[in-house]
Chains A and B, each alone.
Chain A
Amino acid sequence: MSQPGPSAITRLIELMAKLPGLGPRSARRAVLTLVKRRERLLVPLAQAMADLAESVSLCSVCGNADVTDPCAICADPKRSKKAICVVQDVADLWALERAAVFAGQYHVLGGVLSPLDGVGPDDLGLPRLVARAHSEEVQEVILALGATVDGQTTAHYVAAELAEAGVRITTLAQGVPVGGELDFLDDGTILAALTARKDV
């Protein structure tokens, strides 16, 4: 089996193979595509990555990743300042933005409390969140954290920390997902769904 010769290509393959969803084989295919489409793909991609590496940073207000600080969401005057949606990661923020159902502010914790992994309250940006929640404009903090043991441990902890802020604290509902069938749900999800039932 022949190995790729030039070291720059080998290095790119090795780096690409570290990306989620790509292994060595698919990284080789991706790099080969880039090499074949040098002008249309490789050069613009290299330029875009260089620009991003130069300018990307975490927003000092919410923790979102963006090329401006504060980020575009925090700086948007059309967005409501009354509600802050607390998420675990930037990926969760992007998921909520993709759904286009929330027009308030965000706060990215950057992780969740995990006793086993040694992630404690000091490792999350909680003082910044508490300070934001004490702002006069804020009326509600939505804890949009995962329905996992670590996610809900964090949610309860954050709720306790915000207890004195005098704001409404809510969490996302848990239950039957769209397209879900009861037969395939676990007991906990069925219980959550039944507890959160509503009039029709």
Chain B
Amino acid sequence: MEWRDEGILLGIRRHGESAAIIDCFTLEHGRHLGLVHGGSSAKHAATLQPGTQLMLDWQARLSEHLGSYRAEPLRTRAGMIIGDPVRLAALNTVTTLLVTLLPEREPHQRLYGMSCRLLDELEEAEPRWPETYALWELQLLTSLGFGLDLRECAATGTRRDLAYVSPRSGRAVSRQAGGPWADRLLPLPPFLSGEGRASMGDVREAMRLVGHFLEAWVLPAMGVRAIPSARSRLLDQFEKLQMPPPPKERWNADEEDFIRRYSTEEELGIPVGDQGRS
């Protein structure tokens, strides 16, 4: 058995004296572990860091075996990120959430594409990366099969002025329909339903929204006890972070443009829709 695929390094663990077992999120094979001979050596230390994009050649006698990787770096990111505590916290959160929640050997190409985009923005210190992070978390929920329905109001069907999310169904509710139950509904930051762009407060609100569904739906289904603490440390960092407003022309982008910017199907040539198990 052998294949070649690109992937993001999520974690590395020493194995024996000089080998390492790496955990990668690959484009076509999903989260996949493998042994790298000499992976713990100083020669590989700079490239085998979480966040690095690798070209991977995997080989094993049987498909269910751990197998071994030959890894060539495509894009090393850690060096550009580790100097900034907030971006580093985001990198830690992304890799930890993926390792904790993503099942092995199950492709999630849309999530993979979005993860690459987010890591690129972290590496390039793109000022509005927190907004991409919030959308990445929403995509994570969808890819895990617990997507929220934020397109229209669950009560009236309207697509305008969506202000809340039902904590039970994960469906959007309009301000008018949800008014009497506002204290029992979760606030919906407008940018998640495609209206305008996010402020830092919106990003924090989006993280609290996704956090609710991670705890209520995902963790019990995955048998995970708690959300990794890296995420709460990132949320703490976000309390102090400022995000510049987007360029003016972007404020007027319609929903289609907005979604297109964050989707990857065109680049990857795969059909629109969740690639995970839903």
Contact = CB atoms under 8 A, between A and B. Distances in A.
Interface string A160-200: 10000000000000000000000001111101100000000
Of the four ranges (under 10, 10 to 19, 20 to 34, 35 or more), the interface on chain B belongs to 20 to 34
A189 B79 contact: yes
Interface residues of A, number: 21
Nearest to B231: A115
A77 interface: no
A186 B91 CA distance: 19
Nearest to A117: B13
Interface string B69-113: 000010011111111010011011101100100000000000000
Contact of A160 (B80, B81, B85, B92): B85
A152 B47 CA distance: 16
Interface string B146-172: 000000000000000000000000000
Contacts of B218: none
A124 B83 CA distance: 21
A115 B89 CA distance: 10
B91 A20 contact: no
B11 A189 contact: no
Interface string A39-59: 000000000000000000000
A95 interface: no
Contacts of A160: 85
A116 B88 contact: no
Contacts of B275: none
Contacts of A110: none
7 contacts: A20-B17, A148-B49, A148-B82, A149-B82, A153-B82, A185-B46, A188-B78
